[in-house]
Amino acid sequence: MGNKQSNEKQMQESQISQNQSQLSSRDSQISSSNFTNNKIQKQVLLNQELIYPSSDDCPSKINVTLNGITFWSNYDSGNLSQVEQIEATTFNLSISEDCQGRIPPVQSNKGTRQWFNFKVVSVTDFQANFVIVNIATRFKKIWTNDSDIYVKINKIWSRYPAVYQGFQVKFSFEFKANQIVQFAYMPPWSYKKNQKFFDFYFSQLHPDIYFRRETIAYSLEGRNIELITITKNGPHEQQEYYCPEFLFPDKQQNESLIKFKKQYILISCRVHAGEVPASFILKGILESLQNYNESAKFLLENYVFLIIPMLNPDGVYRGHYRLDSLGYDQNRVYNRILKFPKFNGPLAVLETCKNYNVAFYIDLHAHSVLSNSFIYTNWHPDPSIHQAILEFPKQMKSKVAHFRIKEAMSTQINYEKNQYEIEGIYTEKEENIQKAPELKIHFTKENLVPQSMNDDCPYSINPYLTGVAKSDVYLTTQVMFSYTLEVNYRFYTKNKQVFKYEITDFITLGRDVIESLYSAHQNQDFIQIKQHLDSNILN
């Protein structure tokens, strides 16, 4: 056992150094010897078994039996770190913080204890009381007196009542002998489930649809970061293309990738490991394309969908709430990608936007604090372009009862001044659009510490909010229509009433993404501005 673990560790370390040397060659000029090295390293990666972290590295994976009751979380996406029997029927449960809270100093993600996912079986019928004792206080808004968790019995997930009291989540359960019951923050969408989903999805597609599935990059721990390509078949529109150097590590030297003459819609998901509702939104998007209705047909005829369904598979496997295996929030590194080239998911997003003619980019997330569903986008100084950017969120607003328009901030980098210039934008107040240019905050590039702050700014702007995908895709690759779509895990409010989300609401939200993209293309003002932007970029 000890040997196996140390072997695993060695393999992991050697893989990390292989990854790093493979990636560091990006910064140097491409030479034939580099190319050969890359080829060898790619082959080594290919031949390696998938490396799972040992239990030493992964405190979220346990298997404990106390008086005939077994608790375990040592599986994909599981998270439970400790069980303590307090009374005959009462157990205190602890969950593991991402990377046990040992996170890099540039990150601001302390207290990521929210995601839990574990199984329990009792040898006898047994009434148990569970108390999750260390839920993070920073997400307390999501918990109320009638909060729910999720329970899986006989293969079916359903909501299950829990009480939030004194920063603890409490629930009781009546076990039948030998019945396995799974408890989780949300019905999990694990790394394996994600792979199985696409195995099945492929077999269900309309014959007119072109589908391709490949590994665009490997995660630090050697898991696949997959890229799915979906469009309407049309051989005349295809052209052969080279394989971008940093991506598609499994491709042979003489293989090239098909590049379509159409524009692309890039959708990414699960950069934050525990944000399962994002996977259900993606499921809705994919089902919509599969159903091949009028909207889907139009979009598939005119665009190629590129989908990266799991940007942070290591975090997902480890049962993290947010971070990767090194404790980084990968949605805060997009502006530092060359300094930390191990962020292969974000790198795949940026390189895809650089190598393909991407018109829309949508990054899918879930939110533990802000209610409802909403979109963050970027602010553009030209009002007509800004209106065109808002067309997709406005269409969402018109179709989705629980959607609210909420714009966040634009991020502009002034390389000459060596500064980030971040502008806070309005939330639902039209007049704040006018104010936007005054609401400027400066950060130096090196330390990301605010240099000056305008008191009128309606945001508490946090320097760590730089490096977000939707902003850096827009800044570095000129994809204007770049969005973060968010949905609260638990609830939305409407007419001052609070409603709980069902899983089906997330799936329907994904379908509405397709309908809204289609509807935007029925608006002539939007079409005109988009055509103008497309022709400028082409020129």
Residues annotated as catalytic (active site), given as ranges: 486
Contact 439, 424 (CB under 8 A): yes
404 binds Zn ion (CB under 5 A): no
Q: In the window 279-298, what residues touch Zn ion (CB under 5 A)?
A: none
- The distance of Cα 431 from the centroid of its chain, to the nearest Å, equals 32
Tell me how far, at minimum, the Cβ of 326 lies from Zn ion, in Å: 18
Least distance CB 316 / Zn ion (angstroms) = 13
What's the closest the beta carbon of residue 365 comes to Zn ion, in angstroms? 3
Shortest spacing between CB 484 and Zn ion, in angstroms: 8
Looking from the CA of 202 toward its CB, the CA atoms found within 13 Å total 11
How many CB atoms sit inside 10 A of residue 502's CB?
Answer: 10
Nearer to Zn ion, 470 or 530 (CB): 470
Please state, in angstroms and rounded to a whole number, the distance separating the CA atoms of residues 336 and 475. 13
Look-up of token digits 């934050």: 272
Distance (Å, whole) CA 18 – CA 16? 5
Tell me how far apart the alpha carbons of residues 294 and 296 are, in angstroms, rounded to a whole number.
Answer: 6
CA atoms within 13 A on the CB side of 150: 20
Of 216, 423, 195, 210, give the one whose Cα is nearest residue 316. 195
As given in the structure block, the two tokens for residue 524 are: 């002539």
CB of 237 closer than 8 Å to CB of 278:
no
Decide if 233 contacts 61 (C-beta within 8 A).
Answer: no
The single-letter DSSP state of residue 500 is: E
| Shortest spacing between CB 270 and Zn ion, in angstroms | 9
Cβ-based burial of 255 (10 A; exposed 0-12, middle 13-18, buried ≥19)? exposed
Which residues on adjacent β-strands are paired with residue 130?
91, 171
- E strand spans, 123-222: 126-132, 148-153, 156-161, 163-165, 168-175, 181-184, 209-218
In contact, 219 and 330? CB cutoff 8 Å: no
Binding mask 253-282 for Zn ion (x = CB under 5 A): -------------------x--x-------
Supply the minimum distance, in Å, between the C-beta of residue 350 and Zn ion. 18
CB of 486 to Zn ion, least distance (A): 7
Task: Using the minimum distance from each CB to Zn ion, give the nearer residue, 76 or 275.
Answer: 275
CA distance 145 to 161: 9
Among 336, 365, 402, 530, binds Zn ion (CB under 5 A): 365
The identity of residue 85, as a single letter, is Q
Considering the complex, state which of residue 121 and residue 364 has its C-beta at the smaller distance from Zn ion.
364
Shortest Å distance, C-beta 374 to Zn ion: 13
Please give the single-letter amino acid code of residue 539.
N
Of 449-508, binders to Zn ion (CB under 5 A) are: none
DSSP 270-327: -SSTT-HHHHHHHHHHHHHHHHT-HHHHHHHHHEEEEEES-S-HHHHHHT-SS--TTS
- 324's CB contacts (< 8 A; 6+ apart) are 219, 220, 273, 312, 314, 315, 330, 343
Tell me the site size for Zn ion, rule CB under 5 A.
Answer: 3
**Stretch of 14-22, 74-82, 361-369, 495-503 contacting Zn ion, by CB under 5 A:** 361-369
The least CB distance from residue 272 to Zn ion, in Å, is: 4
Strand stretches in 23-81, DSSP E: 63-66, 69-72
Compare residues 275 and 324 and give the one whose CB is closer to Zn ion: 275
CB 98 to Zn ion: min, Å: 13
Q: Which residues make up the interface to Zn ion (CB under 5 A)?
A: 272, 275, 365
